[in-house]
Amino acid sequence: MAVQTAASTTDSTVDLGPAAALSCRECGHRVPLGPVFACEECFGPLEIAYDFSSYDTEELRKRIEAGPANIWRYAPLLPVPADVAEKPNLNPGWTKLVKADHLARELGVTGGLYVKDDSGNPTHSFKDRVVAQALEAARAFGFTTLSCSSTGNLAGAVGAAAARAGFRSCVFIPHDLEQGKVVMAAIYGGDLVGIEGNYDDVNRFCSELIGDPAGEGWGFVNVNLRPYYAEGSKTLAYEICEQLGWRLPDQIVVPIASGSQLTKIDKGLQELIKLGLVEDRPYKIFGAQAEGCSPVSTAFKAGHDVVRPQKPNTIAKSLAIGNPADGPYVLDIARRTGGAVEDVTDEQVVDAIKLLARTEGIFAETAGGVTVGVTRKLIENGVLDPTKTTVVLNTGDGLKTLDAVAGTGLTATIRPNLDSFREAGLA
């Protein structure tokens, strides 16, 4: 298919596999594949429309199962060329779905509890999944620089993916970010630019840059490449179902930042049903927020359809988006599936991080503390059914948010002899 894109001055053949067009989520208006993200008719968000019509269910299942142990096993369902696995990228995904029997016992879950542990990705967060899609779109559109604004996980994911693919990267962050985060983002050798201002200033500047000739050839993974980028979250749904033996979970607990991950997980589950890869049964999607940034949870509980922005104040910084773009869609999905949106305090987040580490040996980022904490709360409140198969997402790594659990320390200090050991009651 030949389409004119903003990034190329001549017609080029854009091969993004089964991706057929961009379609407006609000009004359905379709445009050719290109580096655009908002509908020209109604300003609604554009998302990928696929052509899956040629797929035979059993052939597709076999093709997936014979595929690589990463997200590219699902290439037939993603906006990527068929030979994507041959190109240099970080090959994220196919992370562990951990049967969490000890945690289940603590929470009283009898129907099977699983943790989808995305800390196993190359840069240790789910962002590798979405950035990998944006990278393929960037390749297809002839971009040579990969960019983003970030305060954390995304900066590292973009820097690493660009390095591996041989792209230039230029990541924008607030200039006064903690030194540890700066190192994690800078190590990949791309440009790391500190902006004198807060995160809002950084974002405003990036939007300005996209509209300027200076930004030509630049793919901002979560702005002009957002429709492609967002699709990466579908792979979480695919992997969970395949790892459960091609079965839908009854309940799934997903963290909410922009809300995009939750909406794309729902999209992924719907696709699997339509393709016949899983049996069509009811499933419930639950959204999890930190109390200090809970605009969607607040709207859900109040029965509202719109989400009122909040000023974030929580240790769960990777979820601290006060005005989540996909908030209304999250409300729709939680209500349609019979799920809910709940929030927990920072103290409950820390408790949940420790609970997960103590029971299953998984050290989660604060976002994982949010989902585990919300799961516990939803069970206590009788909202989540403990007799059903439940999957909880951990989207990042505890090593990246050590500050949140800085109080954790030695259980005893002793002199190097047996008497001191016995005195401490450790024997």
The interface with a second copy within residues 71-130 (CB under 8 A) comprises 88, 90-91, 94, 96, 101-102, 120, 122-124
| Closest residue by Cα to residue 366 from 323, 300, 312 | 312
Residue written as tokens 């091609």? 246
Minimum distance of a second copy from residue 53's CB (angstroms) = 32
Under the binding rule (CB under 8 A), the answer on residue 414 touching a second copy is yes
CA 356 to chain centre: 19
| Closest residue by Cα to residue 112 from 378, 387, 394 | 387
Q: Which of 33, 77, 184, 319 binds a second copy (CB under 8 A)?
A: 184
Which part of the chain contacts a second copy (CB under 8 A), choosing from 258-266, 317-325, 332-340, 404-412? Answer: 404-412
Minimum distance of a second copy from residue 335's CB (angstroms) = 36
Encoded tokens for 385: 């059914």
d(CA 292, CA 304): 19
Which part of the chain contacts a second copy (CB under 8 A), choosing from 22-30, 175-183, 248-256, 309-317? Answer: 175-183
d(CA 339, CA 346): 23
Residues near 380 by beta carbon (within 8 Å), at least 6 away in sequence: none
Which part of the chain contacts a second copy (CB under 8 A), choosing from 299-307, 318-326, 334-342, 411-419? Answer: 411-419
User: Per-residue x/- marks for a second copy, 143-172, CB under 8 A?
Assistant: -------------x--xxxxxx-x---x--
Site for a second copy in 351-380 (CB under 8 A): 353-354, 357-363
Under the binding rule (CB under 8 A), the answer on residue 65 touching a second copy is no
Under the binding rule (CB under 8 A), the answer on residue 235 touching a second copy is no
Under the binding rule (CB under 8 A), the answer on residue 62 touching a second copy is no
CA 418 to chain centre: 49
CA 417 to chain centre: 49
Residue closer to a second copy by CB (options 19, 221) is 221
User: Per-residue x/- marks for a second copy, 317-356, CB under 8 A?
Assistant: ------------------------------------xx--
Site for a second copy in 289-318 (CB under 8 A): none
| Closest residue by Cα to residue 225 from 46, 409, 11, 21 | 46
| Closest residue by Cα to residue 102 from 348, 358, 376, 352 | 358
Minimum distance of a second copy from residue 187's CB (angstroms) = 4
425: phi then psi, degrees, rounded to nearest 5: 75, 25
Under the binding rule (CB under 8 A), the answer on residue 263 touching a second copy is no
- β-partners of residue 342 are 288
CA 427 to chain centre: 44
Q: Which of 8, 270, 385, 421 binds a second copy (CB under 8 A)?
A: 421
d(CA 227, CA 222): 8
Residue written as tokens 């700066």? 182
Minimum distance of a second copy from residue 149's CB (angstroms) = 10
Under the binding rule (CB under 8 A), the answer on residue 133 touching a second copy is no
Residues near 320 by beta carbon (within 8 Å), at least 6 away in sequence: 257, 290, 292, 293, 312, 314
Minimum distance of a second copy from residue 83's CB (angstroms) = 15
Contact assessment for residue 308 and residue 294, using Cβ atoms and an 8 Å cutoff? no
Amino acid at 279: E
Residue closer to a second copy by CB (options 33, 157) is 157
User: Per-residue x/- marks for a second copy, 186-215, CB under 8 A?
Assistant: xxxx-xxxxxxx---xx-xx--xx--x-x-
Minimum distance of a second copy from residue 94's CB (angstroms) = 7
d(CA 277, CA 269): 10
Residue closer to a second copy by CB (options 258, 359) is 359
Which part of the chain contacts a second copy (CB under 8 A), choosing from 27-35, 37-45, 297-305, 394-402? Answer: 394-402
